[in-house]
């Protein structure tokens, strides 16, 4: 009898140690997931900032028809987060680019080309951060799969359900106490779902041609815009 009690006690101690290890690993996974969530917010904010630079370039086209021609030339997907960004009102949070030239026509052309160069540069930075975040998500998902493989969730659940309510209320499981109703759904609290990168709804990076590849078409568009809307262009550059 004493031997049975001893075996039962040791068995329970081992199971409790397994659960402690489980909870420690689980907390680490949760911290990694929180880091990913914060990184998602940062990358989404960067997407907004890139969108403002596209919006600045689109604003230089003056007329909707010219704007759409510019978007087509740059192969901006429509509809998309980026095309919607181009249609928004010009944000005051984006600085107007200052350029120098002998004539207003040349000044406007330089303004269009410089706006694109800056957009292209920011898209490149966004691409790197976007790809880095995707890799981090894959790394965390790898940790989640390894975590689930290393621990037998069914046995852990059965052990938790074997505890009497007083014991359960006395012990802090997952950082909180469970009552009888919550214990019935404890498996939902224990299970960790893999991260869905697609589910984050992060705008995919633009695939823009290098500035040199579109210099001619942007120059032609700037010349046409200046010829048709000279007054608006001069007002814009004041």
Number of domains in the chain: 1
5 lies in some domain: no
Q: For residue 11, what pLDDT is reported?
A: 47
How much is the average pLDDT of 170-191? 52
So what's the pLDDT on residue 233?
A: 92
Residue 67 lies in a domain: yes
pLDDT of 44 > 50? The answer is yes
Residue-number span of the structural domain to which 189 is assigned: 16-236
C-alpha 166 chain-centroid distance:
44
Residue 50 lies in a domain: yes
Output the average pLDDT for the chain.
82
List the single range of 19-33, 96-110, 165-179 with lowest mean pLDDT. Answer: 165-179
The residues facing 176 across adjacent strands are 173
In this prediction, residue 2 carries a pLDDT of: 42
By percentage, how much of the chain surpasses pLDDT 70?
A: 74
Q: Which two tokens stand for residue 166?
A: 């007083």
Cα torsion angle, 216, 222, 224, 227, sign = negative
Report yes or no on 47 lying in a domain: yes
DSSP string covering 118-178: HHHHHHHHHHHHHHHHHHHHHHHHHHHHHHHHHS-HHHHHHHHHHS-HHHHHHS-BTTB--
Q: Is 21 or 153 the better-scoring residue by pLDDT?
A: 21
Identify whether 75 is part of a domain.
yes
**Is 11 part of any domain?**
no
Q: 174: which residues sit within 8 A by CB, 6+ positions away?
A: 23, 26, 189, 190
Whole-angstrom distance, CA of residue 107 vs CA of residue 237: 9
CB 225 within 8 A of CB 60: yes
49 in a structural domain:
yes
pLDDT value of position 154: 54
CA distance 44 to 202: 6
pLDDT for 151 equals 62
């Amino acid at each position: 009898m004493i031997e049975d009690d001893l075996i039962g006690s040791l068995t329970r101690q081992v199971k409790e140690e397994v659960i402690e290890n489980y909870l420690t690993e689980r907390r680490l996974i949760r911290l990694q997931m929180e880091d990913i969530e914060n990184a998602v917010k940062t990358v989404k904010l960067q997407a907004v900032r890139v969108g403002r630079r596209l919006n600045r370039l689109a604003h230089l086209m003056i007329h909707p028809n010219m704007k759409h021609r510019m978007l087509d030339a740059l192969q901006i997907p429509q509809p998309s987060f980026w095309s919607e960004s181009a249609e928004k009102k010009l944000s005051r949070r984006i600085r107007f680019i200052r350029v120098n030239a002998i004539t207003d026509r040349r000044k406007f052309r330089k303004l269009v080309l410089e706006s694109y160069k800056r957009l292209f540069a920011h898209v490149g930075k966004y691409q790197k951060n976007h790809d880095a975040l995707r890799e981090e998500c894959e790394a965390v998902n790898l940790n989640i799969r390894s975590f689930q493989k290393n621990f037998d969730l069914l046995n852990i659940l059965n052990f938790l359900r074997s505890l009497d309510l007083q014991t359960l209320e006395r012990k802090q499981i997952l950082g909180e106490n469970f009552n009888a109703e919550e214990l019935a759904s404890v498996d939902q609290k224990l299970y960790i779902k893999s991260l869905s990168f697609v589910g984050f709804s992060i705008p995919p990076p633009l695939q823009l041609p290098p500035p040199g590849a579109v210099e001619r078409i942007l120059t032609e568009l700037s010349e046409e815009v200046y010829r048709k809307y000279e007054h608006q262009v001069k007002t814009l550059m004041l």
